[in-house]
């Protein structure tokens, strides 16, 4: 519940800014995490191509999260 002097519209704007700024961190973090997992599997299994699979899966996970966040904010 907003305080008496606070405009409820401004809080909503700040919440939306916070949600969309998460994308600036989630997408690169998912990509790097996928790459690191693939690199770790490469070292463990003595292969040279699993980092690419991890990288691609990280990028896909980033896009999935982007789509979920955008479609979830449209329904609100």
38-53 pLDDT, tens digit per residue, is 999 999 999 999 999 9
Q: How far is CA 17 from the centre of its chain?
A: 15
Q: 15-24: per-residue pLDDT in tens?
A: 878 888 888 8
* pTM given for the model: 0.73
- Distance between CA 20 and CA 65 in Å, rounded? 11
Identify whether the C-beta of residue 61 lies closer than 8 Å to the C-beta of residue 30: yes
């Amino acid at each position: 519940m907003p305080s008496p002097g606070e405009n409820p519209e401004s809080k909503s704007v700040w919440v939306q800014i916070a949600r969309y700024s998460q994308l600036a961190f989630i997408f690169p973090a998912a990509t790097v995490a996928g790459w690191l997992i693939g690199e770790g599997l490469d070292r463990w299994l003595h292969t040279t191509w699993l980092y690419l699979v991890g990288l691609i899966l990280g990028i896909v996970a980033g896009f999935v999260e982007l789509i979920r966040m955008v479609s979830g904010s449209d329904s609100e």
